[in-house]
Structure 1
Amino acid sequence: MTTDTAVSRIRAVRHRLAQEGPPWTRDRADDFPTVTVPERDGDVLRDLLIAEGVATVVEVGLAYGSSALAIGEALLAVGRPDPRHVVIDPFQDSVWRNVGWDQLCSAGLAPITRLIPDWSSVALARLVADGFVADAAFVDGSHRFHEVFVDFYFLRKIVRPGGLILIDDDRVPSVRAAARYYEQNLGWTPIPGAFTGGTLVVDGDDSAAEPVTRCNAFRLPDALSEPPFGDFQPFGPCGH
């Protein structure tokens, strides 16, 4: 199968998922559109990864598989040898009935994808211990502050210096606060306009606020370093 044919197959599965939804969803109102990364954001995610020339990507959270399909499309489109996509989701079987994994298989992405059915705090620590290195990460797992914070802690050790950390639901206060710590204290640099063209959401609970992009992107510093504890900077959403 040629690269163009493989990419076309993935795009067809992505578009069908966006238009028709998955064959099964949880018994919750509007669960698929609420949980899944919209197709337009997937397109932006794909294009960012292609521009980065990625060969290896780590993803936290699989659910219905929309972002994973976009990442897989990017990896094949870049065309580097031995592309690898590591996806971590402890609930893919028990909660999601493997619907996201089935989407990846139907798109022909199983050969380049490794699904780790474990908590991200455990799986990411194991990847660090194994010396695993990625070009980028996409984070869309638990939105609890302490769990997002731990995901970021390990991912800064996994993603190569100068690589990308891409975040869904960045404007959820718990997620934003966690990212803010790394921005304020560890040199993560926001990439302005990275998700222009993606979905817009209202920042936090302020209905009068100007809409912002649902996803956000950060570039890691060119070297991994640990600042002195005395240099700690407050990191709340509003700097407190």
Structure 2
Amino acid sequence: MAINDLEPIRQARRRLSQDGPEWTRGPERDFATVTLPERDCDLLRDLLITERAGTVIEVGLAYGSSALAIGEALAAGAEQSGGTPRHVVIDPFQRDAYHDVGWNLMIRAGLDRIAELIRQPSSEALPRLLAEGVVADAAFVDGSHRFHEVFVDLYYLRKIVKPGGLIVLDDDWAPSIRTAVRYFEYNLGWTVLPEAFAGGSRVAEGVTTGEEMTRNSGAVAGNPRCRAIRLPAERFEPAFDDFRQFMAENL
């Protein structure tokens, strides 16, 4: 199977969307709650194709819906450019929590030719990738939703993703994630691309986050699930005394 053979990837995406994964953790709606909805996956794929992304880092694999979409984008880009894409997936829970369902799906779609799975916490994997000199065109973040862990992910991805590149976050409705992102917006010149997921799913749609999670999280009904952010064209470090408040009350 060639790197740019798109049909097995598209078939895998259709089967996952229509039939669900071969195994789920439970409860009954775990897959619907956890996985990135198909239309958001399509938007993510299209965005990465438009960006001509050749190397993408993904934090969090779970059932593999976003990974397949990223793989399709990379394979489509390779078909156009003839280049060799790279997809680095980080998920320490893929085996124990998900029985390797997402990774096995990627293998069956032929994406293990361009993808690698790092079974470490992102707080360990990202510094190693940085030390190895990895440069990514884009990143997709759907790992821990704890503020301090999201912040660490973004801290390292800022150094790994090229200037002018993209970082896309899932579950932007969560105050912990929005607060972490807001620091980088306020202090490091990150720019939100509001139209990138304008047609995507939103908080109030139930299956996106689960009614109980939405009700108890402080999420604002109608917020898009995903957010795309453009990094500045040049890297810079602000002066320590040039600090702008970014806490949740400013959201």
TM tier, shorter chain?
over 0.9
Please report how far the alpha carbon of residue 200 of structure 1 lies from its aligned counterpart in structure 2 after TM superposition: 1.4
Which of 109, 123, 126 aligns to 2:125? It is: 123
Q: Aligned to 2:95, what secondary structure does the other structure show?
A: coil
Amino acid corresponding to residue 36 of structure 1 in structure 2:
T
What corresponds to 2:239 in structure 1? 228
**What does 1:138-177 correspond to in 2, within 5 Å?**
138-177=140-179
What corresponds to 1:22 in structure 2? 21
Which of 222, 243, 247 aligns to 1:211? It is: 222
Please report how far the alpha carbon of residue 196 of structure 1 lies from its aligned counterpart in structure 2 after TM superposition: 1.9
More divergent stretch after superposition (178-187 vs 195-204): 195-204
Q: Is the 8 A contact 2:174 2:219 kept in 1?
A: no
Please report how far the alpha carbon of residue 212 of structure 1 lies from its aligned counterpart in structure 2 after TM superposition: 2.3
User: Could you list the per-position Cα deviations for residues 161-188 of structure 1 after superposition, in whole angstroms to 9, with x for gaps in the alignment?
Assistant: 0000000001101011101111111111
Amino acid corresponding to residue 229 of structure 1 in structure 2:
F
The structure 1 segments of at least 4 consecutive aligned residues displaced by more than 6 Å after TM superposition are none
CA distance in 2 between counterparts of 1:124 and 1:118 reads 9
Please report how far the alpha carbon of residue 236 of structure 1 lies from its aligned counterpart in structure 2 after TM superposition: 2.0
Amino acid corresponding to residue 217 of structure 1 in structure 2:
A
CA distance in 2 between counterparts of 1:18 and 1:31 reads 14
Q: Is the 8 A contact 2:37 2:201 kept in 1?
A: yes
Amino acid corresponding to residue 221 of structure 1 in structure 2:
P
Q: Aligned to 1:224, what secondary structure does the other structure show?
A: coil
* Identical-pair percentage: 59
Question: Would you say how many aligned residue pairs link Structure 1 and Structure 2?
Answer: 239
**What does 1:83-94 correspond to in 2, within 5 Å?**
83-94=85-96
Q: Aligned to 2:57, what secondary structure does the other structure show?
A: strand
Q: Is the 8 A contact 2:141 2:170 kept in 1?
A: yes
TM-score (norm 2): 0.91
Q: 1:233 to 1:207 in 2, by over 3 A?
A: closer
CA distance in 1 between counterparts of 2:249 and 2:6 reads 42
**Which sections of structure 2, spanning at least 5 residues, go unmatched?**
none
Structure with the higher helix share, 1 or 2: 2
**Which sections of structure 1, spanning at least 5 residues, go unmatched?**
none
CA distance in 2 between counterparts of 1:45 and 1:77 reads 13
What corresponds to 2:66 in structure 1? 67
TM-score (norm 1): 0.95
Q: 1:54 to 1:27 in 2, by over 3 A?
A: same
Q: Is the 8 A contact 1:87 1:115 kept in 2?
A: yes
Q: Is the 8 A contact 2:203 2:219 kept in 1?
A: no
Please report how far the alpha carbon of residue 28 of structure 1 lies from its aligned counterpart in structure 2 after TM superposition: 2.1
What is the RMSD of the two structures over their aligned residues, measured on CA atoms?
1.9
Amino acid corresponding to residue 229 of structure 2 in structure 1:
F
**What does 1:190-209 correspond to in 2, within 5 Å?**
190-202=192-204, 205=215
